Chains A and B, each alone.
Chain A
Amino acid sequence: MNRDIIRKSLWYLAMGVMAFFVLFPIYLIFLVAFAPPTEIFRPNPALIPSSLNPYSLYVVLKYYHFLSHFILSLETAFIVSGICIALGAPAAYTISRMPRRASYLVIIFLFVTQMIPEIQIGVPLASAMAKLHLLNTSLGIALAQSSIALPLVTYVLVGAFRSIPTRLSESAQIDGASKLQAFFYIDLQLALTGIFVAVILAWLFSWDEFILAQLISPLHTTIPVLIYQNIARGQGGLPADDAFSLIMTIPVIALVLILQKYMRSNIIAGALK
């Protein structure tokens, strides 16, 4: 009896500490965005503000054409996720069903693009986008970012597909499914958790990505570039940075919350033996 209580309270204590580590920075962002600047910008800022006002949010929305940058960033992130899943999932499935040695070689090649610093491939990519008239467009940024994100996503998905026994697809084929049907009804369904992780990975990568976005879309900037420019130029006395941070965080949290209910561990349980 007693041991149960101790175990439970230790469990809640641990959860509390974890939650604090995760939530406190988010609270700080929230605080800085909403609290009166006089209470924040001093040696010992107050953790509980005397009042909240959305002044900095108002500044961001009013003076920065914020919405168009926000939409560009969102578009880009979703296109990157789309490209990565559409190309990465079939590639990953094929790689996962290859003999080990062959797949190892392919995976090594996948990461060749990763070995070159972004800044170095960024300029040639930008000139290629210029020829395609894709400068300052979400598609242009997304294509460039995908060259970095796609190998990572593919790698994550190879792991996801490898964890699904080939036996299940074989069984489906014997039950009358074609290879393609077996892939859609069995392997793809079971890889969903991995696919959602990959979506979040690609999405987050694009959402935060700076160098390629800066080189390919210098006029119509994504939010990270906008924040950078704002800092580099000086704020002109406007408390905008933290409002930006808050706004950048909200879609990320929303995405993770939406997708997390699809994330299940041990999805294969009960399939074999």
Chain B
Amino acid sequence: MTTLELEKIYLTAGKNEILRDVNLSIGNGDFFVLLGPSGCGKTSTLRVISGLMKQVSGKVIMDGEDISEYPPSKRNISMVFQDYALYPHMTVFENIAFPLRIAHKEMQYIRDKVKEVTSFLAIEHIVGKKPHEISGGERQRVAIARALVKNPKLMLMDEPLSNLDAKLRDSVRFELKRIHRETGVTTVYVTHDQLEAMTLGTQIAIFRTGKIEQVGKPMDIFRHPINTFVASFVGNPSMNILESDEARDVLEAKDAHYVGIRPRSIFVRKPRDASNVVAVELRVIMKNLLGNEILVQSTIGGEFVYFYVHVNDSGLVEEGETTTVYVDRRRIYLFDKDGNQQGRVLNEEPEEEIDA
């Protein structure tokens, strides 16, 4: 059982405010993702939790106990670093055994435990090698094994996938999900990749310049972004956010300052149930063929709108011509002039309809 609370964490580096009163509550067994662009304070938050960085004020509370003054070694946490940080002078076995040796565990226990995690991560065959003799993917598994071996209360991960090539990243992402499911270890995971956040997280906190913008389950955030920053950060491709009079006019959003539509909510064919549909005229600029679908760049009121069409519908959108597209009124997001969400969200819509 592990819960973690951050209470008004304030952190500075010189004159810069890195974290401005960050509050977080992480429940037992959560896979809690800290998401945000670089320099937003997510990694600093992780380092404050680990104890490698000391906050100026505020508390870190684990299982009800204030651990703010504890050094990293006394927090019973483990961490997977972005660049793995394996000990180069030790073999893979020694690397994984290090947390147990430091804790003066018996040799037999250490051997059993290392065997357990190495077989769990399918790296038994490389235990005798040194870090420089194994591949990047294997190094990462070793780093994860080292983090798991001492049964930590809390596992911290700092962008663990960003150094892997794209192909490997997909499989390791599934692997991380498996590891979390089977171990149930409470995890805090830092990333700037919204795809990782959406697929891995049970909870997501979105950071922006040292503050948390929104916390929630991935689909809740996706469906109800509280402002334009969150709306454009979560979801791939990014939400189209428009502010021209023309766009707001057509989308029946004159009372809003910004209006947002996700690219996947724009259709070139009129839906069968047309009761909630708005028709919009767009000027098609360019088409990008992506395989079985086409990414279309178009404009309305001088602003770009991106959407997808199936290759079979390619004929419906011609470069340089206007085309009519259909948008479900309930999938139109309205924001005020500060970018905060106002009114209309797709509350009434049943969940399974969303397949974006």
Contacts and interface: CB of A to CB of B under 8 A. Distances in A.
Contacts of A234: none
A171 B131 CA distance: 15
B88 A175 contact: no
A269 B156 CA distance: 24
A160 to B, nearest CB: 14
Given A270-B131, A271-B131, A175 B136 contact: no
A167 B84 CA distance: 9
B72 A271 contact: no
Contacts, number: 83
Contact of B84 (A172, A176, A267, A272): A272
A52 to B, nearest CB: 46
B88 A173 contact: no
Interface in A114-172: 165, 167-168, 170-172
A100 to B, nearest CB: 14
B52 A173 contact: yes
A175 B98 contact: yes
Given A167-B81, A175-B102, A176-B102, A267 B71 contact: no
B87 A172 contact: yes
Interface string A176-197: 1111010001100110000000
Contacts of A190: 88-89
B261 to A, nearest CB: 40
A176 B89 contact: no
A268 interface: yes
A268 B131 CA distance: 10
A177 B88 contact: no
Chain B contact-residue range equals 20 to 34
B54 interface: no
B132 A269 contact: yes
Interface in B87-112: 87-89, 98-99, 102-103
Candidate in B77, B98, B139 with the most chain A CB atoms within 10 angstroms: B98
Contacts of B102: 172, 175-177, 181, 185
Candidate in B103, B132, B150 with the most chain A CB atoms within 10 angstroms: B132
Contacts of B139: 270
A176 B88 contact: no
A177 B134 contact: no
Candidate in A167, A189, A271 with the most chain B CB atoms within 10 angstroms: A271
Candidate in B81, B89, B131 with the most chain A CB atoms within 10 angstroms: B89
Contacts of A179: 71
Interface string A242-273: 00000000000000000000000001111111
Contacts of A17: none
A102 interface: no
A22 interface: no
A172 B98 contact: yes
A174 interface: yes
A212 B342 CA distance: 83
Contacts of A177: 73, 102
B203 interface: no
Given A171-B81, A273-B163, A267 B73 contact: no
Contacts of A186: 87
Given A270-B132, A270-B134, A167 B85 contact: yes
A171 B136 CA distance: 18
Nearest to B89: A189
Contacts of B88: 168, 190, 267-271
B83 interface: yes
Nearest to A181: B102
A263 to B, nearest CB: 14
A176 B163 CA distance: 25
Candidate in A172, A173, A267 with the most chain B CB atoms within 10 angstroms: A173
Nearest to B86: A271
Contact of A174 (B50, B103, B163): B50
B8 to A, nearest CB: 24
Nearest to B163: A273
Given A176-B103, A176-B150, A273 B83 contact: yes
Interface string B138-157: 01000000100010000010
A203 to B, nearest CB: 24
B133 A270 contact: yes
Contacts of A175: 73, 78, 98-99, 102, 146, 150
A173 B156 CA distance: 14
Given A270-B130, A271-B131, A173 B87 contact: no
Nearest to A178: B73
Interface of B: 50-52, 71-73, 77-79, 81, 83-89, 98-99, 102-103, 130-134, 136, 139, 146, 150, 156, 163
25 contacts: A167-B85, A171-B85, A173-B72, A174-B77, A174-B79, A174-B156, A175-B98, A175-B102, A175-B150, A176-B103, A178-B71, A179-B71, A186-B87, A267-B88, A268-B88, A269-B131, A269-B132, A270-B86, A270-B88, A270-B132, A270-B133, A270-B139, A271-B84, A271-B87, A272-B86
Interface of A: 165, 167-168, 170-179, 181, 185-186, 189-190, 267-273
**7 closest cross-chain pairs (CB), A and B:** A270-B132, A270-B131, A269-B132, A272-B83, A171-B85, A175-B99, A271-B88
